[in-house]
Amino acid sequence: MTLTLNYVSILVSDMARSLAFYRTLGLPIPEDIQIDEHVEIEVGGLRIAWETEALMRELNPDWTRPDAGGRIGVGVQATSPAGVDEAMTRLRAAGYDAPEPFDAPWGQRYATVTDPDGTHVDVFAWRAGEG
C-alpha cells in the first residue's frame, strides 16, 4: 500500500493575518476567499488548510494551544533560485522578518521564515544542474 500526502493543516490564531502572510509568500490564495474558521486551497494536488484555534476549541473543549510553534515544518518550492530571493524580498517589503536566502551545500537556494504563529516555512529552489 502506498500513501500519498493529500492534506496539510496549519493552526492559526488570526486567519486574516495568516492568509496575508502566505499570500505574500506566494501561495495562490484568492483575494476574495471567504475568511472563516477553516480555509482551504489546493496547490498541485495537495490540499492546504488553515484552521483557527477557536475551531479547535469548538471541536474539542479540552484542547489547549501548543506552548510554541514549530510542531510541523512547511516547505514551498520556487521555480528558480531567484524566486526564493523574490519571496523573501516580498515578505520584507510587507514588514515580515524574512532572512536572506543562502546557497545550501545540498544544492538548493534556501531560506527559512517563520509565519505569524511560529510555523517554520522553508522556501527553496534547486540551483542549476543540481537536484
pLDDT in tens, 31-67: 999 999 999 999 999 999 999 999 999 988 898 887 7
- Hey, is 41 helix, strand or coil? strand
Decide if pLDDT at 105 tops 80: yes
Predicted pLDDT at 67 = 76
Domain map (residue ranges) of the chain = 7-126
CA distance 16 to 58: 19
Average pLDDT value over all residues in the chain: 92
Q: Measure the CA–CA gap between 118 and 60, rounded to whole angstroms.
A: 22
The pLDDT of residue 3 is above 80: no
Q: What's 7-126's CATH class?
A: alpha beta
In tens, the pLDDT along 9-21 reads: 999 999 999 999 9
pLDDT on residue 71: 67
Cα–Cα distances in angstroms (integers) from residue 69 to residues 18, 37, 93, in the given order? 14, 19, 24
This prediction has a pTM of: 0.87
